[in-house]
Amino acid sequence: MTAVDYPDLVVVGAGLFGLTVAQQAVEHAGARVHIIDVRDHIGGNAYSYMDEETGAEIHRYGAHLFHTSNKRVWDYVNRFTSFTNYVHRVWATHNGEVYPLPTNLGTINQFFRAHYTPDEARALIAEQAGELAGKDPENLNDKGISLIGRPLYEAFIKNYTAKQWQTDPAELPADIIKRLPVRFNYDNRYFRDTWEGLPTDGYTKWMERMIDDPKITVGLGVDFFDETQPYNKQALAEAGVPVVYTGPVDRYFDYELGDLKWRTVDFVERRYDEGDHFGCPVMNFSDADVPYTRAIEFKNFNPERRESQNPDKTVVWEEYSRFAERGDEPYYPVNTDADKALYAAYEAKAAAEPNTVFGGRLGTYKYYDMHQVIDTALTAYEEQVAPMLAK
């Protein structure tokens, strides 16, 4: 392909940020857009596929649950998919017993073998959290105790967090947790957003509809940094083609200032000769003697599909957390003070990069839920991409 064949916009990364910007560029500017992704599928970490044996929709990169209180985002996504009435609820196994999460009046009464009223439970937690009253928490351990008291913190948070971070919470900074939700009623709905659900036909169908336009083309298995293919960083810069980049910001600059640190997740698949293993979509394991943080049973996200699912088989993924290395899938920014300072330096370089907009989790070193990615993409199109296309 020669330079004259380049489209009006190249989007690097086929995740929700890139797909949203591409869709908006076609709709509002009539632009020709080419999307490239090093993976073999669109959808980024929200990609899902059907498991033939069980009939379950597998979320390849871990459970993805759509929820939002942002009407602009809700109206936008409903252009491409309808949603089920799924409401996310989580359960946790502790000392061989299953409790509802987030911590609510049901959790409290079950844990303390009591029948507290909301006011009585509120007073109990305040008393237990007062153990460190007047002290500035020096670490995550102290912060957790000061928020919900030692008994509940040690039962449901301490060991789970240690597995998440592979670090004793006493050695983690207090500011990792801002708050720990405690509800003094029996509401165990995990999210508190106005709208919630799962895409009726699955995540991949939703993403496909977003870019179902002849002006949008997609190249999969394409590496932006591979100079043997035409949509590479140097060639696009020389041709003056506007680029929306959603890959790791440190990779864009060849790690010249250092590596930003991330957490990643490994999954171990288990298959069971039974229709339902846990009876819920997500089961947390709060104790140190279970090496994984949680297990995901995908069939239970879609009870409305029971007729098309195998009644005698189910699949479960166990989730193990660790520090990411180069080549791993980055999930959660570590965000130490050093990381924040390093990102600020990369952010300054990104701001000076001509014809390039950085977005998404990887491009901005932020953890986003799906609705936040879409919202930032809509704003980025309006404020940054549209002006580039108008030149």
- Which of these, 232, 253, 229, lies nearest to 243 by C-alpha position? 232
Residue 122 among the catalytic residues: no
Determine which one of 160, 294, 361, 381 is catalytic: 294
Residue 113 among the catalytic residues: no
Residue 150 CA to residue 112 CA, distance in Å, equals 13
Residue 251 among the catalytic residues: no
Residue 239 CA to residue 222 CA, distance in Å, equals 18
- Which of these, 49, 355, 13, lies nearest to 205 by C-alpha position? 49
Determine which one of 131, 255, 256, 367 is catalytic: 367
Residue 319 among the catalytic residues: yes
Determine which one of 51, 142, 183, 346 is catalytic: 183
- Which of these, 265, 264, 266, 272, lies nearest to 316 by C-alpha position? 272
Give the 3-state secondary structure of residue 48. Answer: strand
Determine which one of 160, 319, 365, 381 is catalytic: 319
Determine which one of 120, 154, 339, 369 is catalytic: 369
Residue 235 CA to residue 213 CA, distance in Å, equals 25
Residue 369 among the catalytic residues: yes
Residue 191 CA to residue 180 CA, distance in Å, equals 13
Q: Report phi then psi at 92, rounded to 5.
A: -135, 135
Determine which one of 52, 136, 179, 289 is catalytic: 179
Distance of CA 202 to the CA centre of its chain: 17
Tokens representing 108? Answer: 């409290």
Backbone conformation region of residue 95, classed left if phi is above 0, alpha if psi is from -120 to 50, else beta:
left
Determine which one of 263, 365, 375, 381 is catalytic: 263
Give the 3-state secondary structure of residue 36. Answer: strand
- Which of these, 44, 57, 40, lies nearest to 300 by C-alpha position? 57
Query: Do the beta carbons of residue 265 and residue 33 sit within 8 Å?
Result: no
Q: Which residues are catalytic?
A: 179, 183, 263, 294, 319, 367, 369
